[in-house]
Structure formats: structure tokens, C-alpha cells
Amino acid sequence: MTDSDLDQFWKGLGDLRRAIDDRLDAWLPAADEPPDRLHKAMRYSMFAGGKRVRPILCLLACRAVGGTDERAMPPACAIECIHTYSLIHDDLPAMDNDDFRRGKPSCHKQFDPATAILAGDALLTIAFGMIGRHTTDPEVASRLVVELADAAGWAGMVGGQMADLQAEGNTPDGDALHFIHQRKTGALIRAAVRTGAIAGGAPDGPLDMLDTYARSIGLTFQIADDILDETATSEEMGKTVGKDKAAGKLTFPAVYGIEESRDRAFRITDQAKRAVEPLGEPAEPLRKLADFIVKRTA
């Protein structure tokens, strides 16, 4: 697909993004509900202009196996809550210490560190409430909760963040790099696809295909992010760039260089697209989204 085609595809997902935002707006506490400072901070970060890639992946995976958006909306919104919580905490002084996110002051700068910590905590916990309250099949709800808990916790995102912190300043190492990124970024992207497929009633075969797709694009997403941290501007990214290299973080360009990292990203994207070819036309939006992820510029 050409860049123009991808832009049109992304614009065409606008209705899906608006549907996700409408549901998040309905399911989050109102800004004026006590304690209002907490709820304002949650909403400030949630509606700061995110692309909604993860919940879109969830809904598209559900569609790919014949499910409806309504069935996938609880895990889609839950995943965006978990993702937003992770960004709030990542920006804190004790973590990446970033003053900007999506072109706006980070939550701890707009409010204060204590409020930011609590806003993140609240978004993490409300995610599981969304699944419990709005998933009608108890067996499906149980599977979704386990998927998200594994992806968000010690075996996934949190464990990856810890490994990332421990790797700062170490000699570049490909095995350690993959360990970190499969967890820190890849685990939640994988969960987005898997929970969408589970909500849609996917049998084992299609679920395995989508799992392979998800593992690949999770890695692609992080490679693209690592490259953009060295090649894009802060204005384009809406956050401070160049900090990973300055902090001695373990990134794909640090291990492989920028050009080899790009080549790897495109090869892995092709693997992702091939994985869902047997699903046919219903999976075409997932293939297009894989291209969008690898070619994104912000």
C-alpha cells in the first residue's frame, strides 16, 4: 500500500475511534464526581489525543473471526485504560521523567506526582471492572481477565519495564532487547488482539493465527518507536525525543543500527500479514493496520 492509501485507511477508522472514545467517556467516572481531582486527572490523560491503536486492534480482531464490535468493546476499553495508566506512570520522575505526553504536559506536571500515581492506579483497576460489568458471558469474562492480568503484570508490561530499567547503560544485547520489548510493549498489543478474538468466539486455529500476528506487530511497533525516538522531532512525537539514547536504554538502533532495525521491522510486518492470510477478507484491516504501524511517523 502507498503512504496515501494508508493515510486514507487510518482516516477511515475515525468512526471506530469515536465509538471507543464515546464508550470510554460513558464508563469512566464523571469529572465532577468526588474526588473530582482524581477523575479530572484520569480523563485528562485518557482524552489527551491517543491514536487508540490497541482498542482498534481488539475490535478488528473480533471482526476478523466474525464477532461484533459490541462484544469486543469491554476488553478494548479496558486495554486503553491499562495503556493510559502505563503512560502516566512511565512519565513520572522516578521512571522516564518526561514533562510532555502527546504534546501536552504529562499528568504529573498538569496535576502533581501523587495525583498522577493515583490516576494510573484507578485506570488500571477500573479496566477489570469494565470487563466484569459489561461482558455478559462469565466464561469469556474470566478468560479476558486472565489475558489482561498476564499482559499487564509481572509476566508482561510491568516485568518488561523493570527489565528495561535494569538494562540502562548495559552493553547492547539482542536477547535482552527482545525480552524487554516482547513484554514492555508487545504483551499489551498481543492481549489486545487475543482478547478481541476471544470476545468474538474464535476457535483455537484462528486464535493461534492472530496470536502470531500480534506477537509480530508488537515487536514492529516497538522497533518503529525506537527509530522515531532517534529520527523524529519532539513536535512530531508530542513528547521529548532522544532520551532513550541519552539514558543508555536498550533499543533496536542501539543493537542493530537504524537501517537494520528498519529492515527487521518490515520483515516482521510481512510475517504478521502472512499469519492472518488464511482468515481471508475479514482480516484485511488487520493487514493494513500492520502496514500503518511499521510506516508511522509519530
Domain 3-295, CATH among 3.40.190.80, 1.10.10.10, 2.40.70.10, 1.10.600.10? 1.10.600.10
What are the cell numbers at 175?
Answer: 536477547
Give the predicted TM-score (pTM) of the model: 0.95
Kindly list the domain boundaries of the chain, sorted by start residue.
3-295
- At residue 35, what is the residue type? P
For the four alpha carbons of 276, 282, 284 and 285, in that order, the dihedral sign comes to negative
What are the cell numbers at 44?
Answer: 485528562
What's the rounded mean pLDDT across residues 34-38?
98
Alpha-carbon gap, residue 31 to 35, rounded angstroms: 9
Per residue in 13-33, pLDDT (tens digit) is 999 999 999 999 999 999 999
Q: What is the pLDDT of residue 3?
A: 78
- pLDDT higher than 80, residue 55: yes
Cβ contacts of residue 16 below 8 Å, gap of 6+?
A: 52, 56, 59, 69
Around Cβ 15, how many Cβ atoms within 10 Å? 8
Q: What is the pLDDT of residue 79?
A: 98
What are the cell numbers at 105?
Answer: 504536559
- pLDDT higher than 80, residue 247: no
